[in-house]
Amino acid sequence: MAKGDVKLFGVWSRPFSLRIILALKLKGIEFEYIEEDLSNKSSQLLEYNPIHKKIPVLVHNGKPIVESLVILEYIDEIWKDNPILPVDPYERATARFLAKLGDEKCLEAVWRVFIADGKEQEEAIPPAIESLKPLEEALDGKKFFDGATIGFTDISLSSMVNMVRVFEEIINTRIINEAKFPFLSAWIENYLHFPIIQNNLPRHDKMVEKFRSRRLSYVKRV
Ligand SMILES: N[C@@H](CCC(=O)N[C@@H](CS)C(=O)NCC(=O)O)C(=O)O
């Protein structure tokens, strides 16, 4: 196993840093976690990620790696134990595609529901449901996206779907409901019982409190 100094710059409530924590824990890698304040970014964060100026940043032996999905692949290449990407090239491509879809389509669409109000919110719900359908189809009754245990897709999407559950509670609307999404609903239960995820998810009540106030800065009348 490659050794070295591993640091992670993150924010406790954000899915992009959570997925890196999950991957490092799954592989049993020791790391130093540095909590960032995005309203007052540290000089280290700006130095390590001068282009995007965003978390997460993984620093391995002094070298920064940015973009959470890129970081996950890096982790998997450096620390071979408990591989997270499938071996088969087509399955690898599918895993990458679904993780990207989750970030670029699903989270975006659910976020639009979350920060809207009244009629605008009602109108944002069908596109959000539509955006999640490919995930339901990809699961097709499997316990995890990547097979018998959690992998790249599960790690990426569980950190994203965890946010959806927080948003749903705040706006009092179920988007991923059992009737429309039986496989996704069962998968949520499966990952919630998976020890690495269970033990590292941020506390739901703290998340609700945090994002309730964040929503207030978007929605004038709630
Ligand atoms: N595509 C990036 C997204 C990272 C991202 O959006 N990070 C946000 C927090 S969730 C951030 O650091 N924002 C700071 C800013 O935009 O100023 C990834 O996957 O790492």
Which residues surround ligand 1 with Cβ inside 6 Å?
A: 14, 16, 38, 53-56, 67-69
What is the pLDDT tens value at each position of the chain, 222 positions in all?
456 799 999 999 999 999 999 999 999 999 999 999 999 999 999 999 999 999 999 999 999 999 999 999 999 999 999 999 999 999 999 999 999 999 999 999 999 999 999 999 999 999 999 999 999 999 999 999 988 999 999 999 999 999 999 999 999 999 999 999 999 999 999 999 999 999 999 999 999 999 999 999 888 654
Instruction: Please state the CATH superfamily assignment of the domain spanning residues 6-78 in this structure.
Output: Glutaredoxin (3.40.30.10)
CATH class entry, domain 89-216: mainly alpha
Q: Which atom of ligand 1 is nearest to the CA of 55?
A: 12
Is 172 exposed, middle or buried (CB count within 10 Å of its CB: 0-12, 13-18, 19+)?
A: exposed
DSSP class of residue 143? S
Query: Whose CA is closest to atom 2 on ligand 1?
Result: 67
Nearest protein Cα to ligand 1, atom 13: 54
d(CA 131, CA 124): 11
- Top mutation candidate among 8, 12, 16 for ligand 1, by most atoms within 8 Å of CB: 16
